[in-house]
A and B are shown apart, each in its own frame.
Chain A
Amino acid sequence: MTPRRQRMIVIGLVLAGVAVAVLLASAAFQESVNYFRTPTQVASGDVPATRSIRLGGMVADDSVARDPGSLTVRFTVTDYANNVDVVYTGVLPDLFREGQGVVTRGRLGADGVFEAEEVLAKHDENYMPPEVKEALANAKKAQ
């Protein structure tokens, strides 16, 4: 075996070893690498009630209700299969809107309402000018 070949094998083995280690680690920690849980996971009881978790999904249309005179707001997070009602007191990010993505951190109450301590807007990957959005909405309505 030439030294060149030897070096190639050494570096290949090291790389393969690290890759396998990373693969195993990320498979083992799959759940904790995920940033949030979905309403379906919450509905199936997959979520600990004692620990703080992140719940992610879309803010359901016509679900946002603001408490007059306070910063408390109630809304529903949906993945279009299951829904979770959320209550939150605080300032919402600018991009918080019905029909847009959201990630909330908090605890699932005994009554099934998710009490959020933090609400972040999850922006999607769509970028377009307002006129295009309007045209899309009109086309949808016309259908």
Chain B
Amino acid sequence: MWRLLVRWFHQLASPPYFYRFAGRVAPWFGVVGGLLIVAGAYGGLALAPADYQQGDGFRIIYVHVPSAYLSMMAYVVMASAAFVGFVWRIKLAHAVAVSAAPIGASFTFLALVTGMLWGKPMWGTYWQWADARLVSELVLLFLYFGYMALRAAFEERDKADRASALLAVVGVVNVPIIHYSVIWWSTLHQGPSISKLDAPSIDASMLVPLLLMIFGHTFLFVYVLFERLKGEVLLRERQARWVRKLVGTTA
């Protein structure tokens, strides 16, 4: 069993095999993610009651929390892939890191914007430079931008892979800082509601749609990652025979 798994893993690292695998698997993630998001959005916007303090304004968590969670999750995926690519020189791993970066940056941007839109009516301010949670999440956005900009500065893909991988791995230090900022320091941002070990501080009628949204967004992330990866693999392998055969040019 173990040997079979290892063989499958090695096979997966081969670009043509992976390309076919991603093409088969991606649509399922898209469909399941789409269904979960539709169900979660209906539950969160129509079924869940208004909050006792915030009224209907609290409903922005159904976008904010999944985005914030995936902004960090995508970074962990990117950094892990970059690490594997750097140490074992696996090209497909670098392709994963490259493909994850813009998705992670988008979720980070969404988390920041939805947070600011909520902050103005609830806290009374869009942004506070002294808040550790807000600033560390902004640093995450700049890490994504830095990773993408660094790659763009290299002409050769191999060099870009290696240099940007180092940045991606080092930046992972920021992820626990974001997560624990509201516990380690006093912040304007509230503490965790659902990732606590004891009972969650959010009513079940509001929690269930939120969990649906979190899973839905995660599936959506995997779907978009696979779709981007297919493009990235084709680009990297454009000289290979299997790609030429695939697109029908024999020149």
Contacts and interface: CB of A to CB of B under 8 A. Distances in A.
Given A93-B123, A95-B122, 19 more contacts: A4-B89, A7-B86, A15-B172, A26-B177, A35-B128, A35-B132, A35-B185, A93-B121, A93-B124, A103-B188, A120-B123, A120-B188, A122-B188, A122-B190, A123-B54, A124-B191, A127-B51, A127-B201, A129-B206
A35 B188 CA distance: 7
B11 interface: no
Interface string B25-36: 000000000000
30 contacts: A4-B88, A7-B87, A8-B87, A11-B86, A11-B166, A11-B169, A14-B166, A15-B172, A22-B177, A35-B128, A35-B132, A35-B185, A35-B188, A36-B186, A38-B186, A92-B124, A95-B53, A120-B128, A122-B188, A125-B190, A125-B191, A127-B51, A127-B58, A127-B193, A128-B51, A128-B206, A129-B49, A130-B50, A132-B203, A133-B52
Contact of B83 (A11, A122, A126): A11
A123 B123 contact: yes
Contacts of A126: 193, 201-202
A30 B181 CA distance: 11
B55 to A, nearest CB: 9
Interface residues of A, number: 41
A113 B117 CA distance: 33
Contacts of A54: 130
Nearest to B58: A127
Q: Is the interface of A mostly helix, strand, loop or mixed?
A: mixed
Contacts of A36: 186, 188
A7 B85 CA distance: 11
Interface residues of B, number: 43
Interface in B106-122: 121-122
A15 B167 CA distance: 10
Interface string B194-225: 00000001110110000000000000000000
A14 B169 contact: yes
Interface string A1-31: 0001001100100110011001000100010
Interface of B: 49-54, 58, 61, 83, 86-89, 121-125, 128, 130-132, 165-166, 169-170, 172-173, 177, 184-188, 190-193, 201-203, 205-206
A118 B187 CA distance: 16
A6 to B, nearest CB: 9
Nearest to B192: A125
Interface centre among A4, A14, A118, A127 (most CB of B within 10 A): A127
Contact of B203 (A7, A11, A127): A127
A69 B61 CA distance: 38
Contact of A33 (B49, B58, B128, B132): B132
Given A7-B86, A8-B87, A11-B83, A123 B190 contact: yes
Contact of A131 (B49, B124, B177): B49
B95 to A, nearest CB: 18
A120 to B, nearest CB: 5
A129 to B, nearest CB: 4
Given A100-B53, A123-B54, A15 B124 contact: no
